[in-house]
Amino acid sequence: MVNPQFGVGTWNTLHGNATVTVTTLPRVREMAEQIKAFPQLAPFDYELYEGDPDQLKTVDATPSQPNSYIDPAALKLKYRIGHGLFGDVWVATHHQSGRDYDEYHEVALKMIHPIKEDHVNEFLSKFEELWINLKSRQLQCVCWLHGISVISGKICIALKSYKRSIGDRMAHLKGGKLPLPDVLRYGIELAKGVQQLHQIGVLVLNLKPNNFLLDENDHVVLGDFGIPHLLLGICWHDSNLAFRLGSPNYMAPEQWEPGVRGPISYETDSWGFACSVIEMLTGNPPWFGRSVEEMHNAVVIRKEKPQVPTGLPPEVEDVLKGCFESRNAVYSDGSWSGLVSSSFVGKSHCIGYSTWFLSKDHLQVGDAVRSRKSLNTHKPLSLAVTEGVVVGLEKDGEKDGFAMKSRAFLVGQFVRLKANITTPHFEWPHKRGGAWASGKIAQILPNGCLEVKFPGRFVFGDELTCFLANPEEVECVSFDTCPGLVEKYELVEDFHWGVRPLAIAFGILTAMKFGTFVGRNVSARVNKRKMTQKQNDACNQEGQSSGNSGWLPPTVANILFKDGTSVSNSR
Ligand X SMILES: Nc1ncnc2c1ncn2[C@@H]1O[C@H](COP(=O)(O)OP(=O)(O)OP(=O)(O)O)[C@@H](O)[C@H]1O
Q: Which residues bind ligand X (CB under 6 A)?
A: 81-82, 84-86, 89, 108, 143, 159-162, 164-165, 167-168, 206, 210-211, 213, 223-224, 247
* Preceding omega of 314 cis (within 30 degrees of 0): no
How many other β-carbons are positioned within 10 Å of the β-carbon of residue 194? 23
Kindly state the smallest distance separating residue 166's Cβ from ligand X, in Å: 9
Whether the Cβ atoms of residue 332 and residue 319 lie closer than 8 Å to each other: no
d(CA 102, CA 224): 28
Kindly state the smallest distance separating residue 312's Cβ from ligand X, in Å: 25
Sheet hosting strand 102-112, strand order edge to edge: 75-83, 87-97, 102-112, 154-160, 145-151
Contacts of 335 (CB under 8 A, 6+ apart): 372
Kindly state the smallest distance separating residue 496's Cβ from ligand X, in Å: 46
Kindly state the smallest distance separating residue 370's Cβ from ligand X, in Å: 32
Helices (H), 440-561: 485-495, 499-540, 554-561
Task: Give 2's DSSP letter.
Answer: -
Nearest Cα to Cα of residue 419 among 404, 398, 436, 407: 436
d(CA 499, CA 501): 6
Buried b / exposed e over 14-32, threshold 16 CB at 10 Å, is eeeebebebeebebbbebb
d(CA 419, CA 416): 9
What's the N-to-C CA distance of the chain in angstroms?
115
Buried b / exposed e over 427-458, threshold 16 CB at 10 Å, is ebbeeeeeebbbbbbbebbbbbbbbbbbbbbe
Query: Please, which residue, 247 or 447, has the CB nearer to ligand X?
Result: 247
Whether the Cβ atoms of residue 82 and residue 210 lie closer than 8 Å to each other: yes
110 is in an annotated binding site: yes
Whether the Cβ atoms of residue 222 and residue 142 lie closer than 8 Å to each other: yes
Contacts of 506 (CB under 8 A, 6+ apart): none
Whether the Cβ atoms of residue 126 and residue 120 lie closer than 8 Å to each other: no
Contacts of 564 (CB under 8 A, 6+ apart): none
Whether the Cβ atoms of residue 113 and residue 239 lie closer than 8 Å to each other: no
d(CA 561, CA 58): 92
Q: What is the DSSP string of 92-161?
A: EEEEEE-SS-EEEEEEEEEEEPPB-HHHHHHHHHHHHHHHHHHHHHT-TTBPPEEEEEEETTEEEEEEEP
| Dihedral (Cα; 506, 509, 511, 513), 10-degree rounding | -130
Whether the Cβ atoms of residue 499 and residue 456 lie closer than 8 Å to each other: yes
Whether the Cβ atoms of residue 131 and residue 259 lie closer than 8 Å to each other: no
Kindly state the smallest distance separating residue 108's Cβ from ligand X, in Å: 3
Q: Which residues are annotated as a binding site for ATP?
A: 110
Q: Which residues are annotated as a binding site?
A: 110
